[in-house]
Amino acid sequence: MILSRLRALVQAPGRWRRRGLAFLLGAIGALALAPFNLFPVLFVSFTGLFWLLDDARRAREGFGTGWWFGWGHFICGLFWIASAFLVEPDKFAWMIPFPVLGLPALLALFTGAACALAVAVSRPGPMRLAALAAAWTLAEFARGHVLTGFPWNLAGHAMAFSDATMQPAAWIGVTGLSLVVIAATAAPGLFAGYGRPGRRAGGLALVLLAVLSLAGWMRLSPVGAAPGDGPVVRVVQPNIAQRDKWDRDRLVENFELQLAMSRDPEADVVIWSETAVVWSIEDTQPVRDALAAVAAGLSGGRGGVLVTGVPRFVRDDDPPTWRNSARAIGPDGSFLATYDKVHLVPFGEYLPLRPLLQQIGLERLAQGRGDFQRGPDVQVFDVPGLPPAGVMICYEAIFPGRAVPGRRPAWLINLTNDGWFGELTGPYQHFVSARFRSVEQGLPLVRAAGTGVSAIVDPFGRIVASQALGTRGAITAVLPKPLQPTIYNTVGDIAAMMIAIFVLLAAAIRRLFW
């Protein structure tokens, strides 16, 4: 049988051979993520990983296999990080190997821990596969929280290859989807030499994936285009390259370009991207007046709202601080609402462990740049005349459950500057994360990205209108209506976490007593 021969080939001895195979399988799995969306490759990737783990005798072997798999997976999934160091290549290009190879090496600790746990608590066979899916899910949850978290490219994100397969996130979230994806895509491994119990368990996992996909299709099938009775929204994507965004000789030109792209009397609200305005508005009256003039021309001349990302200087702090903010500006130039980014990017917006760096003698690194200050807890963005919104600035969109504060908003706004990511895979992966927030919460999403992908998304995660990556333009559409609160909105990740823990406990009990 072909599968049995493949299993024997995968499990052939040789330490470095197995490590290289694990690395290759992990790298192949990255093709299931955006923009490739080749979901079937996961059947190769995770079936191979399961076979490698299934004959592991000790947790240490499982950790090594999982680490090599994760290293390959994250290198191929996150290579776009190099783009940020090529904005000023003369200064930073030499550093590229550290994030491109080093960050994946650290993230692979989570996949290594997941595989070690699966081997430690389970016997070979169907229970080891179940333990792998459960431990992987817990590891992804931990990756989203440890050291501020980095839940990028979760296994569940592979379900974004169609609108229908994203829909189960409304019930179990991306975390629950990861549990199902790992179990189902590793399931073919149970059809090779595990007898009838293995075939039954593998078939059950595949059926579960099929049932969830069918349920997602049924959720969409009676629904046409999402109705829109909200404000008319215009999203501006100026496509200003990152190297030009802060060029002093082009600041005024860039600003005037965005002003010209924003004038639309049919729109009620115009949305600009993260730090689209590079000056502190409070200290630059001509800039504030220009923004107010755009707002005054909206809604057929009756006046509307302009929402923009801007660095905000807060003099009331002691000492004064800078914040990465979203601000809503009215026709008279008043600030109608303000949101300060809460979840900052380590090393990008602030320097972690600054006191420690100073103590060990790295004063120049610790003092060479300023930090943004995080804002207060996530709050609803209340703008008079608009439905209440939940704002996510850039990085915040990748965190499940953070999009909605205590009071549920009626829509989501994601301001981001993906210019740092270049035109590689990163912007597409970031957009997928934002779309999942929409599905999980049942809320429409308006996303303004300086270089793309900008979009208006309905509460099912479907794209109503979009501006392609690396292009200049503006999109205008009526804001779709929100849905009733989803199951995920109510229970969050608790259900998926409880299932994963129960599976691991069951595997451990079976190993000890049967």
- What are 121-166's pLDDT values in tens digits? 999 999 999 999 999 999 999 999 998 899 999 999 999 999 999 9
- What b/e string do you get for 462-477 counting C-beta neighbours within 10 Å, with b at 16 or more? bebbbbebeeeebbeb
Q: Which residue has the tokens 């981001």?
A: 416
Q: Is 341 a catalytic residue?
A: yes
- What are the start-end ranges of the E strands in 394-484? 411-416, 445-449, 454-457, 463-467, 473-478
pLDDT of residue 321: 86
**Residues pairing with 326 in the sheet:** 309, 339
Q: Which residue has the tokens 């595997």?
A: 507
pLDDT of residue 420: 86
pLDDT tens by residue, 326-378: 999 999 999 999 999 988 887 777 766 556 545 544 444 444 445 788 888 77
**Residues pairing with 446 in the sheet:** 413, 456
Q: Is 253 a catalytic residue?
A: no
Contact by Cβ (8 Å): 442, 510:
no
pLDDT of residue 370: 56
Contact by Cβ (8 Å): 236, 448:
yes
CA dist., res. 184 & res. 150, Å (int):
25
- Pairing assessment for the beta strands 389-393 and 380-381 based on DSSP bridges: antiparallel
> Which positions ≥6 away from 332 have C-beta within 8 Å?
292, 296
CB atoms within 10 A of CB 43: 18
pLDDT of residue 356: 54
Q: Is 115 a catalytic residue?
A: no
Residues of the chain with pLDDT under 70: 225-228, 351-370, 403, 405
Length of the chain: 514
CA dist., res. 225 & res. 51, Å (int):
44
The structure tokens listed for 335 are: 């600030």
To the question of pTM greater than 0.85 for the whole model, the response is yes
Catalytic residue chosen out of the listed positions 61, 274, 349, 440: 274
pLDDT of residue 227: 66
CB atoms within 10 A of CB 173: 29
Q: Give φ, ψ of 506 to 5 degrees.
A: -65, -40
User: DSSP letter string over 272-340?
Assistant: --TT-S-S-GGG-HHHHHHHHHHHHT-GGGT--EEEEEEEEEETTSSS-EEEEEEEEE-TTS-EEEEEE
Catalytic residue chosen out of the listed positions 76, 115, 394, 440: 394
Catalytic residue chosen out of the listed positions 76, 140, 245, 341: 341
Q: Name the region of 83 (left: φ>0; alpha: ψ -120 to 50; beta: rest).
A: alpha
